[in-house]
Amino acid sequence: MADTKAEFEYVIGLCRDVFLKKMQDYGASWRLMRPESLTDQIFIKARRIRTLELKQESKVGEGIYPEFMGMANYGIMALIQLELGFADKVDIDAKKALELYDHYMKVTTELMYNKNSDYDEAWRYMRVNSYTDIILTKLERIKQIEDNNGETIVSEGVDANYMDIVNYSLFGLIKLGNDKK
């Protein structure tokens, strides 16, 4: 698990760096987004990944890797929004946003480490396109839960699905990074 931890810390660092740079460019403008809008933003990125996987070409020039980064970051933002609720104006500064980002990334990766122990790193043997399909499935689940006003009968809630999306995105980043080596 030592390599896994180092790999996770590396890709989390990359995602965190992008989050920080976006905060410098845009501030916490994402605070205005309702959780459903964040779900749709992640959906757009996941659909783009699937399209790129199927067509194996990009007309925009950006590949799959930055989209996985975006889904990880939007997933963390969605978890923050679930806690704070959406705002009518930007109500947190970069320092507070980063504090919340770090908190939710820590909670999310702790979940991954626990699941990883139980599943014995099964994700390493999966294909990256399976991560995409699982993320799309989780997004459909989230949409259904959102449409049901957050109510579930026996299933995990929206937060658990967002955490899984973040973790599958991080798996994708690790696998794609390892494929480049």
Average pLDDT over residues 72-87: 97
**Which residues have C-beta within 8 Å of that of residue 113, sequence separation ≥ 6?**
1, 4, 5
pLDDT at 181 over 50: no
The overall average pLDDT reported for the chain is: 92
Average pLDDT over residues 27-52: 96
Stated pTM of the model = 0.92
> For helices 64-84 and 35-55, what crossing angle results, to 10°?
170
Query: Within 10 A of 146 (CB to CB), how many other CB atoms are there?
Result: 14
pLDDT at 140 over 60: yes
Burial of 61 (0-12, 13-18, 19+ CB in 10 A): exposed
d(CA 100, CA 77): 9
pLDDT at 23 over 60: yes
Q: How confident is the model at residue 123 (pLDDT cuts 50, 70, 90)?
A: very high
How much is the pLDDT for 178?
65
How much is the pLDDT for 179?
54
d(CA 95, CA 114): 29
Average pLDDT over residues 126-138: 97
Q: How far is CA 39 from the centre of its chain?
A: 10
Percent of the residues in the chain that have a pLDDT greater than 70, as a whole number = 97
pLDDT at 1 over 80: no
Q: How confident is the model at residue 144 (pLDDT cuts 50, 70, 90)?
A: very high
